[in-house]
Amino acid sequence: MLAYVVRRVLATIPVMLVVAFVVFSMLMLAPGDPAAVIAGDQATPQDVERIRQALGLDRPFFVQFADFLWRLVHLDLGTSIFTNLPVTHMIAQRIEPTLALMVLTIVLAVSVAVPLGVVAAWKAGSWIDRGVMLFAVFGFSVPVFVVGYLLAYFVALEWELLPVQGYTPLSQGFLPFLENLILPAIALGTVYIALIARITRATMLEVLAQDYIRTARAKGLGTRPILFLHALKNAAVPISTVVGIGIALLIGGAVVTESVFAIPGLGRLTVDAILRRDYPVIQGVVLLFSFVYVLINLLIDLLYTLFDPRIRY
Amino acid sequence: MTTSMADRLLEVEDLRTHFRTPDGVVRAVDGVSFHIAAGETLAVVGESGCGKSVTSMSILRLIPEPPGKVTGRIMFRGRDLLSLSEREMRQIRGNEISMIFQEPMTSLNPVLTVGRQIRETLKLHQGLDDRAAEARAIEMLDLVHIPEARRRVKEYPHQLSGGMRQRVMIAMALACNPKLLIADEPTTALDVTIQAQILDLMRELKAKVGAAILLITHDLGVVAEMAKRIVVMYAGRKVEEARANDLFRTPRHPYTRGLLGAVPKLGSSLASDAPSRLAEIPGIVPNLKKPIIGCAFASRCTEATELCRKVAPPIEAKAPGHFVACHHAAREAVAA
Amino acid sequence: MRRRDFLGATVAGAAALAAPAVHGQASAARVLRIVPQANLTSLDPIWTTATITRTHAYLVYDTLVGMDSSFQPRPQMAEGWTIEDDGKVYTFTLREGLRFHNGEAVTARDVVASIKRWWARDGFGQEIAKRHASLVALDDRRLRLTLQKPFALTLKALGKANASPCFVMPESVANTDPHTQITSAIGSGPYRFVREEWNPGSRVVYARFEGYVPRQEPTDWTAGAKLANAERMEWHIIPDPATAGAALQSGEVDFWEIPLHDLLPVLRRNRNIEVVVRDPIGSVGMLRFNHLVPPFDNPALRRALMLAVDQENYLRAVVGDDPGMYATSYSFWSRGSPMHTEEGSEPLRVKSLERARAALREAGYAGQRVVQLHASDFPTLAALSQVTADLLRRLEINLEFVATDWGTVVQRRASREPIERGGWNIFHTTWSGPDWFDPASTLAMRANGTGAWFGWPTSERMEALREQWFEAPNQAEQKRIATEIQREAFRVVPHIPLGHFLSPSAHRRNVTGVIKSPIVLFYNMGKSA
């Protein structure tokens, strides 16, 4: 097990290198020039060129890449071209809201979607089942920002129950923190709930048809232990796989959610950096995201062993 | 009659289990009656699809309703199981009536330890705490001759062989000292040598625990070893019922005769390599989605007459304790 | 139920947890929350000409000379000045008690270093630089600028408020290379930049600088008193206009610098919100040509296209149908400027597709490809660009419409290559009114070829007239020369002016002290109760 984890973590290194190279090449080959953005509209072409030189952006591709790698080896992600702040500092500033949003969304989604999917499978064909499936279709087809706007409009503006936007750090109290995150988590979680509810229902339908469920019923077990222990534990592997895959979906959705609710998270940092061509920041964030994604997949693989004793590494 | 009404542990009367499907009602069980006395072993035999498994599931009320619908009466220790609430029924399942299944490979939950699955029943029905349930689980594994029971309780089903798993199933089924054990094809999926061991175990435990057994099988060899009385089912109906000896010696229904045709020699099936399964009978089982007019076996029966095709034969005593549903079955001079 | 109570009521017994929020409310009246027009990414107002950085700088830094609402230079950090030797020697004396946010006194040496960094970059500043003989600190409070020959616009340049004004920084900071970004934000202005709370893209925080001594005169643009009426100023960067609008409606923010025009009706309907035209001059739109590559290297073609332009179409595309929000301006100088004139503007009043078609034919247009750069991420620019694209298509011009983001446009517009090798013919942008004030401030009216702004127009006459303008002794003469420049511009067509549109601000009714000026100034603003 430990050897497996070490092997998997080591295997991320070449993956990260490839990611680094691809991201770097894409940025260098894509159109756009941070020097021109910095200089602003009232600067002359000469000024733009001077700024480009000062930033070292006029150096050959491989020189810049080697420089980038060299710093990366020293865990230095560089400095933002625009703010002059270290990229690590900017990421650190932004990581809490994104992490909080993701964790809350996952907790919310799993705790809503799994019971929904279980009940839908148990009552397959009933109005509850149809209702859950209808919601799933809705969740898949309505974009995050539409859900976000609707929530903000009704819950925040019309009924004045929660704030429209913004973020309060956890350090300023759990309640204010939660107030700001509930709507974004619901908006972001909708598609995720749909996804998990559907896979839960499908997997549970399959599991509930298994012989050991008949055995459990023949033993006199009630509905709840059958559904939530005997069946759900067997369905946990496919469900957690989808939860893991869905995190990639969440990362994408977080960008939009953070914009709609003005949450100062990594998603918005990324978009802002891309629009400005702030190369070091883009590289840093993309590397972080891919690292987190690889890590989450490892975590999920390890989680499998918890659910299914037949899986061993 | 060999048993008085008072002795009857289970009495099934006119059991009908129908399923609603998009293209019609399937009459899986259509008016079956039989009884089991306390401590008795009754075998129900028939081809697959004849309704014997559905009958056993109906007794435990494990038929999903809808699409299923179970009618008739199932008297168990003076109560009609069909009139009980689901809650009351749960107190009977696994406690007073327990069940073991054909597929030991899939009938245990793969993600829970063997010990946990046994303890669950004990905690539920006997109110044992964790520690007591654990001790009892180990005791039960010992009872079904699983070596190193103390270690095995912590193992998962995939770490056990097929025979071991069926032993676990038996241990689980007997953990609460049930009055009735329904065994649905308990040995079918096992190797021949393991089959013998499991049957030995069942006989041994039956003697120890004193439970009645309803044995569902299509293996006449198994029947011969285990049962005193046999019910033969065809197309959802009971076609013949008799003591084992009588049935093997003088099968009276053409269907039963067909079944017995392939069994080489009484009691030798387990030892030999000869097929112990039911014989192939030409023709196909009638479609259960349509009401059957006349005798259900008429279309495959070499002796069928116009009468058979028009009128369903009633089940009648043709000899003492020997009931047959056939217009042409010879009637012995019945003493009774 | 009010929002603050919602969760408290839901989660029983959690009142203690909600305590920090209550504390936040108590001090809310002293905190002014602003949604600025853009994200503050750079702190160096000399390094970048981004408007938002200038807005930041006017809070943090002070200027030697200010500009009042009649566009006249007035002393700001300077107590006063003397002009001697026929306008060749300027001696400035600093006010007493000027301090930087780090507590150190502002000295004449700081001002000298700041002016030198500024005039290395700023176009107007360069006009002084090339005329100057020396610039020295005489003592702690006095500095002297000596010119080779008189330059009447010296004070105007030092007090300029558009693009890069001459902000005063500590000497050690001002010694930084003008093309390298400074990292400090230590000024002597009315507000202190709270670096620990700066979260680029989300939050910028300023605190009142208790050591600031405002002038006694009333506030008049960047002249007179600068008051820190709000104890603390927070900039909330809200990228989504709908969200910003909702935040203003719910009172989560107090002031929104530039609301989306589409949202103005909703905001006007709200009793707690006031929509104000803070900048009476507004912005101007521009259709810019590339003068180096065919087919618009041909002035006859540029003039031909101008015949088809109808400013109202452009302006309505930007602000909608509210006629109060836009004004045509058939001029290369901004409305509100003393230089503004519509002389020579006949071609821009023709507004005829027919005439334009004929003129195009006559000029020899024969189906050459035209590349138009389009930035879809800025609604205003996208609207202007769409109107032109429609126009070009209706004129049967062979248009290649390159839809991309602003970050790509600013790179590609720097290319002087032919269109086959990544070049371009047309792009659009907007400027604030003061950027089109006069020849000194209007970068886009330079016509010195590759030395000019993107598009690189060439006109020796325009350049010569520009030189004359700087030497003009009085405003009447300036106006005459500016009119001449405009006549030439209608012949050369460096770009096509697309008219003025206003971008009102919206704020909660309890916001006070909003300065009405074409320059965005956030000091003086505060909140009543």
Chain A hits for C51, Cβ within 8 Å: 40
Which chain C positions have a beta carbon within 8 Å of A160's beta carbon? 1-3, 250
Q: Which residues of B248-275 are buried (b: 16+ CB within 10 A; e: fewer)?
A: beebbbbbbbbbbebbeeeeebbeeeee
**C238 CB neighbour count, 10 Å cutoff:** 27
Q: For position C7, what pLDDT does the model report?
A: 47
The secondary structure of C454-494 as a DSSP string is TT--B-HHHHHHHHHHHH-SSHHHHHHHHHHHHHHHHHH-S
Report the pLDDT value the prediction gives residue C6, as an integer from 0 to 100: 47
Q: Are C446 and C463 in contact (CB under 8 A)?
A: yes
Higher per-residue pLDDT: C169 or B88: C169
* CB contact (8 A) between residue A220 and residue B92: yes
Q: What span, in angstroms and rounded, lies between the C-alpha atoms of B101 and A17?
A: 55
CB of C279 closer than 8 Å to CB of C518: yes
Q: Which residues of chain B have a CB within 8 Å of the CB of A224?
A: none
Q: What is the pLDDT of residue C27?
A: 57
Does domain C283-501 fall under CATH 3.10.105.10? My reply is yes
End-to-end CA distance of chain B: 9
Residue A159: what residue type? Answer: W
Which residues are CB-contacts of B95 (< 8 A; sequence separation ≥ 6)? A220, B121, B124, B125, B176, B178
What are the residues facing B241 on neighbouring strands?
Answer: B231, B323
Looking at residue B160, what is its pLDDT?
Answer: 87
ipTM: 0.81
Structure tokens at C443: 């970068």
pLDDT band with cut points at 50, 70 and 90 for residue C29: low
CA A65 – CA A73 distance, rounded (Å): 12
Identity of the amino acid at C308: A
> Nearest 5 degrees, angle CA B201-CA B205-CA B207?
125
Assign C19 a pLDDT band (cuts: 50, 70, 90).
very low
Across C141-154, b (16+ Cβ under 10 Å) vs e yields bbbbbebeeebebb
Residue entry with tokens 């990228």: C239
The tokens of C330 are what?
């058939």
A43:C199 CB<8 A: no
What DSSP line would sit under A16-77, residue for residue?
Answer: HHHHHHHHHHHHHHSS--HHHHHH-TTS-HHHHHHHHHHHTTTS-HHHHHHHHHHHHHTT--
The reported pLDDT for the residue numbered C343 is: 94
* CA angle (B255, B259, B262) in 5-degree steps: 145
Q: For residue C28, what pLDDT is reported?
A: 61
Calculate how close chain C gets to A13, using CA atoms only, in Å. 30
pLDDT in tens, B304-317: 788 888 888 888 88
- Note the pLDDT tens digit of each residue in C267-293: 999 999 999 999 999 999 999 999 999
- Residues C478-518 have pLDDT tens digits of 999 999 999 999 999 999 999 999 999 999 999 999 999 99
DSSP classification of residue B153: T
B264-284, pLDDT tens digit by residue? Answer: 444 444 434 334 455 567 777
Gap between the Cα atoms of B43 and B216, Å rounded: 6
Give the count of alpha carbons within 13 A of B189, CB side only.
18
Chain-centroid distance of CA C210 in Å reads 28
pLDDT score for A302 = 86
Q: Tens of pLDDT along chain A (313 residues)? A: 788 888 888 888 888 888 888 888 888 887 778 888 877 777 778 888 888 888 888 888 888 888 888 888 888 888 888 888 899 999 998 999 999 999 999 999 999 999 999 999 998 888 999 999 999 898 888 888 888 888 888 888 888 888 888 898 888 889 989 999 999 999 999 999 999 999 999 999 999 988 899 888 888 888 888 899 889 988 988 999 998 888 888 888 888 899 899 999 998 899 889 888 888 899 899 888 888 888 888 888 888 888 888 887 7
pLDDT the model gives residue C279: 92
Residue C451 sits at the vertex; the CA angle it makes with C448 and C456, to the nearest 5 degrees, is 70
| Closest C-chain CA to A168 | C21
Please, which contacts does C386-395 make with residues 24 or more away whose CB atoms are closer than 8 Å? C386/C317, C387/C313, C387/C314, C387/C317, C388/C287, C388/C426, C388/C428, C391/C305, C391/C308, C391/C309, C391/C353, C392/C305, C394/C353, C395/C305, C395/C308, C395/C353, C395/C356, C395/C357, C395/C360
Q: CB distance A54–C180 less than 8 Å?
A: yes
Q: Which residues of A touch C20 (CB under 8 A)?
A: 172-173, 176
Is the pLDDT at C342 greater than 80? The verdict is yes
Looking at every residue in chain C, the average pLDDT score rounds to 91
Which residues, 6 or more positions from A284, have their beta carbon under 8 angstroms from its beta carbon? A77, A78, A87, A88, A90, A91
More confident residue, C56 or B283: C56
Q: What chains are in contact with C, requiring at least 3 Cβ pairs below 8 Å?
A: A
Domain C20-38+190-279+503-527 class in CATH: alpha beta
* Extents of the domains making up chain C: 20-38+190-279+503-527, 67-174, 283-501
Using a CB–CB cut-off of 8 Å, the residues of B that contact A are 60, 62, 90-95, 98-99, 101, 103, 106-113, 120-121, 124-125, 156, 158, 169, 172
Inter-chain residue contact C179 with A51, CB threshold 8 Å: yes
Cβ distance C243 to A165 less than 8 Å, yes or no, reads: yes
Sign of CA dihedral B124, B128, B134, B137: negative
Nearest to C238 among A43, A160, A165 (CB): A165
CA nearest neighbour of C395 among C425, C418, C417, C368: C368
Distance CA B147, CA B159 (A): 14
Q: Domains of chain B: which residue ranges?
A: 98-175
Which residue, C139, C98, C71, C454, is CA-closest to C287? C454
- Alpha-carbon gap, residue C246 to A266, rounded angstroms: 23
Overall size of chain B counted in residues: 336
User: Domain C67-174 is of which CATH architecture?
Assistant: Alpha-Beta Complex (3.90)
Q: Strands, E, within C24-166: which ranges?
A: 31-35, 62-63, 65-67, 73-75, 78-84, 89-94, 132-137, 142-147
How many other C-beta atoms can be found within 10 angstroms of the C-beta atom of residue C350? 16
Is omega for the bond preceding A264 within 30 degrees of 0, making it cis? no
A256, containing H or E segment: helix A232-260
How many beta-carbon pairs below 8 A join chains A and C? 181
Per residue of chain B (336 residues), give pLDDT as tens: 444 555 788 888 888 888 888 888 888 888 888 889 888 888 898 887 788 888 888 998 988 877 888 889 888 888 888 888 888 888 889 888 999 888 878 888 899 988 889 888 888 888 888 888 888 889 888 888 888 888 888 889 899 888 888 888 888 888 888 888 898 888 777 777 888 888 888 888 888 878 888 988 888 878 887 888 999 988 888 888 888 888 888 888 888 888 877 444 444 444 343 344 555 677 777 777 777 888 888 888 877 788 888 888 888 888 888 888 888 777 664 443
Q: How far is CA B218 from CA B200, B224, B275, in A?
A: 18, 11, 12
Give the nearest chain A residue to B122 (CA atoms). Answer: A219
pLDDT in the model for residue A68: 84
Main-chain phi, psi angles of A214, to 5 degrees? -60, -40
Which residue among C19, C49, C238 places its CB closest to the CB of A40?
A: C49
The C-alpha atoms of residue B29 and residue B48 are separated, in whole angstroms, by 13
* Alpha helix (H) residue ranges in C11-89: 19-26, 51-60
For residues C205-223, average pLDDT? 95
In chain A, the domains with their CATH numbers are 15-73 (no CATH), 93-307 (1.10.3720.10)
Q: In 3D, which of C345, C296, C304, C319 has the Cα closest to residue C497?
A: C345
Residues ≥6 apart with Cβ < 8 Å to C479:
C338, C339, C341
Distance from CA of B42 to the nearest CA of A (A): 20
Return d(Cα A9, Cα C172) in angstroms, integer: 48
Determine the 3-state secondary structure of A309 from DSSP: coil
Chain C nearest CA to A286, separation (Å): 17
* Helix, strand, or coil (residue C129): helix
Q: State the burial class of residue B6 (Cβ atoms within 10 Å of its Cβ: 0-12, 13-18, 19+).
A: exposed
